Structure 1
Amino acid sequence: MAAKKVAIIGGGPSGLTTLKECLDNGLDAVVFEGRNGIGGQWRYEDPGPETDDAVSSIYEGVILNSARDTSCYSDFPIDPAQYPTYFSHRRMLNYLEDYASHFGLGKYIQLNTKVLSCNQLPDGRWTVVHEEKGADQKTSEYDAIFACTGHNSYPSTPDFEGMSSFQGEILHSHVYRRPARFEGKKVALIGFGSSAVDLACELVPVAKEVHMVTRRGGWIIPRYVLGQPVESYDNRIAETLLPGSLSQWVQAKLMDFAIGKHPEVIKPDHKILQASVTVHSNLIEFIKVGKVKVHRAGVKQFTETSLVLINGTELDVDVVICCTGYHMDMPYLPKETYHVKDNPILKSPNTLDLYKLVVSPRFPNLFFIGYVELPGPLFPVAESQARWASGIVTGKVKLPSADEMTRQVKEYQANLTKTMVVSDRHTVNVHFLPYCDSLLADLDANPTFARLLHRLVTSNPFRAFAVLKAVYFGINSPAQYRLFGHGRKPELAAATLTRLAAGTGISEKEKTLMDDDAKS
């Protein structure tokens, strides 16, 4: 029987891990990537000089907000001898290129090939219309499709009264690249997410004034707490066993101890995990010393020379940068494949009506990989989604009925309205461990306490105890999801977990296990 054919749209972090997992499951897979190289958002590009268009939102000074040892795939750890704990976007692209090379993915990737449309055939298969640069359009048929183009490509720019009359410059953070062009200017940033905070801190040394305009404020957490990456405190014990209210309290107290009380001007009404948090080490200091001025109000209108807020404040500025997020859009797919119009629960155009945020109850062979928000790295989550979804295609994972999937979609969305601030930004939020556990349980790959305990009596008890301790008390390494079940690589996983717990570099044994894995 011929292997099922699958099309993967997008050659970024989600598309690469999807390709690798599909190949591991014996599928006939191809990646369509519109640009001239892999990496997706992590492949830096300057906006077009005439159109100002750009696929990538990465700016020159980007440093990862998540730590090295959590920001990797489960079977391809990052070598601490080569990468610092937090590193630049260029190093992340290096990692992705090394990943593709290590597992021999390049020959399955069609670069400079844009997918124009996908439509379902009467028999349930899909047609994909694609066009290689400089060539004619082609139409191919596939048993399943994986959408992996991410949700940071289509900027959401607000439409305020008077914007067209403003004589200064208005841009979206999506096309910001470096601070030098704003030297000596008065700049206002609308928004308080990661981009707004990063850009404000980049602009402080060069701009004449830096203003941040925010209605809700937000929580800022540092990259390091007591000399350790902040993620090291959010281990499996904290994330899966502590009650939510206690976890909120502990994290708030830890932040107060590490960086002091939040300035009242940015302190939000919501609790620390009820909205997307922002990781940065300098903003609070810049606010306290007056380098960044925060205005807790919405925007009313623009004049020719200023930005007027709803509280009456008028900011005389030269530049306004809209750090206002993105539309959830996949123009190559019919909208009804992933979005229910006029969703009665979340009431947002960014709602994805997908079971486990991966598959539509109405289109069980169409998958969406990487369309999530979480306080942590995307890579291991996208990998878990890809393992689960490829398991569906091969029959290893059985989906519930369409009605049951729809019920669970509504239940998830209703729960979001109770646990998160209701906004267009909070429609696909998950927490790393509970979410990945729920996916990989269908492959018997979740590292339950019972399974880890069983290893104490079926293998070297000292090593098994070290692994158990690393899984529950160590940093949340994705390697824990290779200990058991389908796709397991227990020797490599144990070597990675115990090495991270010991705080040492990758050993020759671990490198050998990685090389042997790539050859198998």
Structure 2
Amino acid sequence: MGESYKVAVIGAGIAGLLTARELQREGHHVTVFEKATKVGGNWIYSQRGDTDPLGLDPNREIVHSSLYKSLRTNLPRQAMSFLDYPFLKKEGGDDQRTFPGHEEVLRFIEGFARDFGLMELIQFGHQVIRVELVDEVTHEWVVESRTRETESTWESKEELFEAVVICTGKETEPNISEFPGRDSWPGLQIHSHNYRTPEQFENKVVVLIGNGPSAVDLLKEISPLAKQVHVAVRSSFPMLRVDNYDKAWQHSMIECTHKDGKVVFQDGAIVDADVIIHCTGYKYHYPFLKSNGIVTVDDNRVGPMYKHAFPPSLAPWLSFVGLTNRDLAYLMLSQSIELNVLISILKKCVYQAVVFRVMELQARWVAKVLSGTVELPSQEAMSSSVEQLYSEMEKKGLPKNHTHGLMEAEVEYASWLAAQLNIKPLKRWKELTVVSIVKGVVQYGENFRDTWDIDKWMQEIDSSD
């Protein structure tokens, strides 16, 4: 066992719980701050959405979760297991499906927190409003949080820590599509973050913006009730199959909107719409972090960040777990990549779908770096590594907002993390689940969760080793 520090973890979602467990295993003294009254982060379902359904008002009341009532995972549960804590089908359990609903995922997360004794580490109902370095010599951080006393009053408190790990995810601050006339358009506009059920769209003309999993699910739910659904996408990648729906049409992106309710698409189509739903992703957002400009968010690039975890000049006393993501959107939206080439790339990205395990490796790395059992390079070397990444992205023509979407580099990243921790590579059948997303949707359509025999597929992969 190495050095032991007093560490604050911000967030009790998956990343925060994994981080708390690994820090505790390394002998650190851990306090987890969680705004909600239970663990789970984005897997906590709430019937309410933000008070501003588009998410533009900075003073809105924010609901952290983006879950809609019917949401099921788009990964099989085998890909959502932890290294030593599998996501099993429990005999007599409420949800035996391979692609379970969000309630089953939350039960899995709650079980993990209980089984590893993490609940007593968590300060529930504590919203973090400030994280700031107050002493550079002793690397002392102040974490200011507040708890609600009444509907209109809050009580604030400050605590000091030697290190802070930020695990707040990014699925709370909506990213909104930009087009002329948006702000003066008279209809209802919401972000998919605030969608819960389809009933309010009955007999409405709805425009969906997006081509990802949320847009797929919302099209399937809304189209039977709506008068018409028009889907605006950037490419023709067959994630959405509007020809399966009698009242749905696919268009290019929105050109502009007018005060009379008309929506004009870039392909020339014009519709009189009632609702626009932005299924357009999220922004990294850390309003509580006061770093004197050291850590910034620029076009969804959180930086500078060594290996997506440590700001070089603040390492190891400030770190992030869960920044990386499965940036399938970039590949899907690239019209220059044909489907067979896309699948070929994805087969190389063996860790890409194993989101939980990548976070687990990050959490373990951060914990061991703090304890001193794993060393970081010098500040200069870490800064040089960050600059090299930025330079390579620029040469490839990749925009800043894809910095943390590792794409084909994810296998290299996860292998690097595993090497730091002396962990042998995972078995192939546990790694290749990313193919299920693309291959399953392409071959089985929107019903891939119920028609694809994952167990058989796993056996076939296992036998090929």
User: TM-score of the superposition, structure 1-length normalised?
Assistant: 0.70
After the TM superposition, which of the residue ranges 147-156 and 40-49 deviates more from structure 2? 40-49
Contact 2:49–2:193 under 8 Å retained in 1 = no
* Amino acid in structure 2 at the alignment position of 1:329: H
Q: Does 1:436 align with 2:437?
A: no
Partner residue, 2:70: 61
Partner residue, 2:113: 100
Change in CA separation of 1:194 and 1:352 when aligned onto 2, cut-off 3 Å: farther
After the TM superposition, which of the residue ranges 168-177 and 194-203 deviates more from structure 2? 194-203
Q: Does 1:3 align with 2:9?
A: no
Partner residue, 2:346: none
Q: Does 1:316 align with 2:249?
A: no
Contact 1:69–1:477 under 8 Å retained in 2 = no
Note the C-alpha offset of 1:418: 5.9
| Cα distance per residue 1:75-100 (max 9 Å; x no partner) | 11011345421111111000000101
Change in CA separation of 1:331 and 1:300 when aligned onto 2, cut-off 3 Å: same
Note the C-alpha offset of 1:439: 1.3
Q: Does 1:407 align with 2:407?
A: no
Partner residue, 1:84: 97
The residue correspondences of 1:108-507 to structure 2 (distance < 5 A) are 108-122=121-135, 123=137, 124-134=139-149, 136-218=155-237, 220=239, 283-284=240-241, 286-287=242-243, 290-334=246-290, 336-339=293-296, 348-364=299-315, 365-374=317-326, 375-417=352-394, 422=399, 424=401, 426-430=402-406, 432-447=410-425, 471-476=426-431
After the TM superposition, which of the residue ranges 134-143 and 116-125 deviates more from structure 2? 134-143
* Amino acid in structure 2 at the alignment position of 1:194: P
Change in CA separation of 1:434 and 1:476 when aligned onto 2, cut-off 3 Å: same
Change in CA separation of 1:24 and 1:90 when aligned onto 2, cut-off 3 Å: same
SS of the equivalent of 1:91 reads: helix
* Amino acid in structure 2 at the alignment position of 1:475: K
Partner residue, 2:46: 45
Contact 1:340–1:353 under 8 Å retained in 2 = no
Contact 1:327–1:350 under 8 Å retained in 2 = no
Contact 2:198–2:221 under 8 Å retained in 1 = yes
Contact 2:207–2:232 under 8 Å retained in 1 = yes
Contact 1:215–1:298 under 8 Å retained in 2 = no
Distance 1:209 1:70 in 2: 36
* Amino acid in structure 2 at the alignment position of 1:437: S
Partner residue, 1:16: 17
Q: Which runs of 5+ in 2 are unaligned?
A: 54-61, 327-351, 434-456, 461-465
| Cα distance per residue 1:426-466 (max 9 Å; x no partner) | 2211255432221121121133xxxxxxxxxxxxxxxxxxx
Distance 2:289 2:22 in 1: 23
* Amino acid in structure 1 at the alignment position of 2:99: Y
Change in CA separation of 1:201 and 1:8 when aligned onto 2, cut-off 3 Å: same
Distance 1:361 1:389 in 2: 13
Contact 1:10–1:149 under 8 Å retained in 2 = yes
Change in CA separation of 1:158 and 1:476 when aligned onto 2, cut-off 3 Å: closer
Distance 2:141 2:157 in 1: 14
Change in CA separation of 1:403 and 1:420 when aligned onto 2, cut-off 3 Å: same
Note the C-alpha offset of 1:71: 0.7
Note the C-alpha offset of 1:390: 0.6
Change in CA separation of 1:421 and 1:292 when aligned onto 2, cut-off 3 Å: farther
SS of the equivalent of 1:475 reads: helix
* Amino acid in structure 2 at the alignment position of 1:108: L
Distance 1:189 1:163 in 2: 14
Note the C-alpha offset of 1:401: 1.5
Note the C-alpha offset of 1:193: 2.2
After the TM superposition, which of the residue ranges 16-25 and 208-217 deviates more from structure 2? 208-217
Note the C-alpha offset of 1:199: 1.1
After the TM superposition, which of the residue ranges 374-383 and 315-324 deviates more from structure 2? 374-383
Aligned residues, how many? 389
After the TM superposition, which of the residue ranges 295-304 and 201-210 deviates more from structure 2? 295-304
* Amino acid in structure 1 at the alignment position of 2:76: A
Note the C-alpha offset of 1:205: 1.4
| Cα distance per residue 1:124-165 (max 9 Å; x no partner) | 221111123326321111111010110111112244332343
Note the C-alpha offset of 1:39: 0.4
Partner residue, 1:71: 80
Contact 2:3–2:372 under 8 Å retained in 1 = no
The residue correspondences of 1:26-45 to structure 2 (distance < 5 A) are 26-45=27-46
| Cα distance per residue 1:142-192 (max 9 Å; x no partner) | 111010110111112244332343232111111011111111111001122
Distance 1:85 1:420 in 2: 38
* Amino acid in structure 1 at the alignment position of 2:184: S
SS of the equivalent of 1:367 reads: strand
After the TM superposition, which of the residue ranges 433-442 and 382-391 deviates more from structure 2? 433-442
Contact 1:352–1:428 under 8 Å retained in 2 = no
Distance 2:392 2:206 in 1: 38
| Cα distance per residue 1:188-229 (max 9 Å; x no partner) | 011222222221122121111111112234453xxxxxxxxx
Note the C-alpha offset of 1:6: 0.1
User: TM-score of the superposition, structure 2-length normalised?
Assistant: 0.77
* Amino acid in structure 2 at the alignment position of 1:130: S
* Amino acid in structure 2 at the alignment position of 1:151: K
Note the C-alpha offset of 1:307: 1.0
Distance 2:296 2:381 in 1: 17
Distance 2:294 2:285 in 1: 11
* Amino acid in structure 2 at the alignment position of 1:195: S
Contact 2:145–2:156 under 8 Å retained in 1 = yes
Contact 2:252–2:266 under 8 Å retained in 1 = no
Partner residue, 1:229: none
SS of the equivalent of 2:296 reads: coil
Contact 1:12–1:39 under 8 Å retained in 2 = yes
* Amino acid in structure 1 at the alignment position of 2:113: A
Distance 1:445 1:49 in 2: 42
SS of the equivalent of 1:195 reads: helix
* Amino acid in structure 2 at the alignment position of 1:101: R
